[in-house]
Structure 1
Amino acid sequence: MKKSPLFSIFLIVLVDVLGLTIILPLLPFYAESLGATPVVVGMLVSAYAACQLIAGPPLGHLSDRVGRRPVLLVSQMGTFAGFLMLASARALWMVFLARIIDGLTAGNLTVAQAYISDVTTPENRAKSFGMIGIAFGLGFLVGPAASGYLAQFSHTYPILAAAALSLTSVLCTYFLLPAVAPHPTPETEQGRPSRWSAYIESFKDGKLGPMLWQFFAFTFAFSTLFSGFALFAERRFTHNGAPFGPKEVGYVFAFSGLIGAMIQGGGIGSLVKTFGEGKLVQV
């Protein structure tokens, strides 16, 4: 197993996550400044997620056929284009279009995980996948804090920073990430357009299904919190006599990322040994 591909993919994932987390605290305020109501902000978040859900399986299928690197590049360039459009948006429809473009090409992390599977042995795969968790932890720690700092100068600055990071990930993928041969499965060789049937069957599986439904419930709660917290905090809390804005919300998200990094970095191991995985999942 070579170290260089894993370091490159870690760097790429970290840059991608930083771009994503920079946008999180700002987007509700940015849309609100263009006339969005809380309901429209929720629709904006859902539009991105819906497009990601629709495009995810075909992108994974395509990466099996043509290789991970080309699909990763296309996905990253789509994210870059979405951020540029978001930064230049002067109307809500442009914000929606920007998030739709980003959602339809948001296969970066899924394809990156598939790439790790391609270049690692089964013995080292779990450890290598741990890099994704580290990248997410760092991203959720640094990204929102950077967003909060930049937003005090202009709401556009964090988006431009996210676009710059996205362009950096494109360059890292192009120049640093070695290409690997495609790994077509029998399904891809038969030309099946997606894996929806396999996903549906996974939810019906007696052992895997309950865990997937639990993860769905967690993701639903997580996305509800992160999409609605900014506007909730703006209406409920003040700092120095002014309502919470992108700066304060960004710092709150960064603090949350710090706690998560501390738990994932050291605390989770002790908790698993003490209580077991089953009880921790219930908690």
Structure 2
Amino acid sequence: MNQPAEPTPHRRAALAFIFVTVMLDMLAFGIIIPVLPHLIVDLIGGSIARAAVWVGAFGALYMTMQFVFSPVQGALSDRYGRRTVILISSLGLGVDFIVMALAPVLWLLFLGRAVSGVCAASFSTANAYIADIVPKEKRAAAFGMLGAAFGIGFIVGPALGGFLGHWNLRLPFWVAASLSLVNFCYGYFVLPESLPKERRTASFDWRHANPFGAVVLLRRYPQVFALATVFFLINLAQFSLNSTYVLFTDYRFGWGPQAVGYTLGLVGVCSGLVQAVLVRRLMPKLGERRMILIGLSLCVLGYLAFGLAPTALLFLLAIPVFCLGGLAGPPAQSMMTHQVDPHEQGRLQGALTSLASLAGIFGPAMFANLFALFISDHAPVSHLPGAAFVLAAMLLAVATLVAIRATRHVPQTAHPDDVSLANVQPAMGDVPTPGIPSPHSAEQTR
């Protein structure tokens, strides 16, 4: 087996671009987080409870599009390369944000979310790009660096969106469009291809480029399939935040777009520290299995605290606990890439994104309607507006039990995951043929 080649300035620039791509895309999505629900309220002229139902419908539509098209994008990147998919994604998102900024009626805004779901491939393809160029023993830390990029975008995006939305609810959409188009131009001139033609799949196979064919791929790898189940439950629970955070904090604590933006900025700070610092430092000490189980357990505690916090202060104090749950994502993602053939990394990413999207089809409507029920006069339990977060904690408790069983034979020793943008080495020599949001991070609060 050949040793990985020494890093070149070209490769370093490529990894830096992937980092910037994820950060800019997260920034673009983060900017609209504090304003999209309020824009829906304005367009329908309805109550918060009615708007919550529409927010759930928007989320379900977005994820339905991702469920259908993510395997297609993964298979296309395996066949035609990562660069093409990333560039088309950035360009499509830029144009789509412009359409949403101009939307005078709800149905056009609804259509814009559908197009966003089709185009949002850069997160999953970025992970496949990392699997192409980073050796196996360093991937967990590399995925942690991508998580840090999410965190940086999440720090600035919602805070900026809340500030801009204070002046005009549509202004954040224009800024998001500009960021996506700048990212396209940057990638067009900087990004090299990570998957050479001789290492790509021979043809594009529609049997595998669909959500159900993608699940068949997961079933070929038993440990991957079990971890994918954990992955699905994580993403399903995440939609309790995606679909209710803005309206819940407005109802419970009276927070407007600006306060929501600042608190989501706090989430970004904590998440960035976890992904960029703690993952890399704790991996050699804890190993992949312990990191996954500790992260899931902290997620359970975080969701319970969100749902049951009686005051805004206690809600804020729960944010660092919840963000520590991010310790589970990078090692789980790394573990799955180890099990899959190198030339199928794009299909693996597409399959995992489809699972996240499947969670997104049911999650937003389920949690948004649960929130609406528990703030209505027909609530089965009085004064429990955080019921959606309590349900999320229960789902993560199940995910923890599945992870315990799925990883019971994983050694406790860890690889020395000392990765930075400056020292990542391409893994082309590690495998016969090179070929995953973090979806837990990739799906944003909406």
TM range (shorter): 0.7 to 0.9
Following superposition of structure 1 onto structure 2, how do residues 218-257 of structure 1 map, counting pairs within 5 Å? 218-238=234-254, 244-257=255-268
Q: 1:211 to 1:161 in 2, by over 3 A?
A: same
Residue in structure 2 matched with residue 241 of structure 1 by the alignment? none
Q: 1:265 to 1:111 in 2, by over 3 A?
A: closer
Q: 1:272 to 1:228 in 2, by over 3 A?
A: farther
Find out whether 1:144 has 2:155 as its counterpart: no
Q: CA deviation at 1:259?
A: 2.1
Q: 1:197 to 1:148 in 2, by over 3 A?
A: same
Q: CA deviation at 1:30?
A: 1.3
Count, aligned residues? 277
Residue in structure 2 matched with residue 194 of structure 1 by the alignment? 209
Q: CA deviation at 1:282?
A: 4.4
CA–CA separation in structure 2 for the residues paired with 1:63 and 1:172 = 19
CA–CA separation in structure 1 for the residues paired with 2:208 and 2:262 = 42
What value does the CA root-mean-square deviation take over the aligned residues?
2.5
Q: 1:87 to 1:191 in 2, by over 3 A?
A: closer
The residue type equivalent to 1:91 in the other structure is: V
Q: Secondary structure, in 3 states, of the residue corresponding to 2:178?
A: helix
Residue in structure 1 matched with residue 58 of structure 2 by the alignment? 44
Identical residues among aligned pairs (%): 34
Q: Secondary structure, in 3 states, of the residue corresponding to 2:167?
A: coil
CA–CA separation in structure 1 for the residues paired with 2:223 and 2:208 = 27
The residue type equivalent to 2:18 in the other structure is: I
Q: 1:70 to 1:271 in 2, by over 3 A?
A: closer
Find out whether 1:19 has 2:19 as its counterpart: no
CA–CA separation in structure 2 for the residues paired with 1:175 and 1:83 = 22
Q: Secondary structure, in 3 states, of the residue corresponding to 1:185?
A: coil
Q: 1:235 to 1:121 in 2, by over 3 A?
A: closer
The residue type equivalent to 1:144 in the other structure is: P
Find out whether 1:129 has 2:138 as its counterpart: no
Q: 1:39 to 1:114 in 2, by over 3 A?
A: same
Find out whether 1:179 has 2:193 as its counterpart: yes
Residue in structure 2 matched with residue 112 of structure 1 by the alignment? 126
- Deviation string for 1:242-278 (max 9, x for gaps)? xx22111111111122222233344454598469335
Gaps of 5+ in 1: 239-243
Q: Secondary structure, in 3 states, of the residue corresponding to 1:152?
A: helix
Residue in structure 2 matched with residue 98 of structure 1 by the alignment? 112
The residue type equivalent to 2:224 in the other structure is: L
CA–CA separation in structure 2 for the residues paired with 1:91 and 1:233 = 26
Q: TM-score, normalised by structure 1?
A: 0.88
Q: 1:265 to 1:27 in 2, by over 3 A?
A: same
Q: 1:153 to 1:271 in 2, by over 3 A?
A: same
Q: CA deviation at 1:190?
A: 5.3
Q: CA deviation at 1:111?
A: 1.4
- 91-100 or 63-72, which moves further after superposition? 63-72
Q: 1:278 to 1:173 in 2, by over 3 A?
A: closer
CA–CA separation in structure 2 for the residues paired with 1:266 and 1:227 = 29
Residue in structure 1 matched with residue 18 of structure 2 by the alignment? 9
CA–CA separation in structure 2 for the residues paired with 1:264 and 1:161 = 26
The structure with the largest alpha-carbon Rg is 2
CA–CA separation in structure 2 for the residues paired with 1:265 and 1:191 = 37
Q: 1:138 to 1:91 in 2, by over 3 A?
A: same
- 245-254 or 93-102, which moves further after superposition? 245-254
The residue type equivalent to 1:22 in the other structure is: I
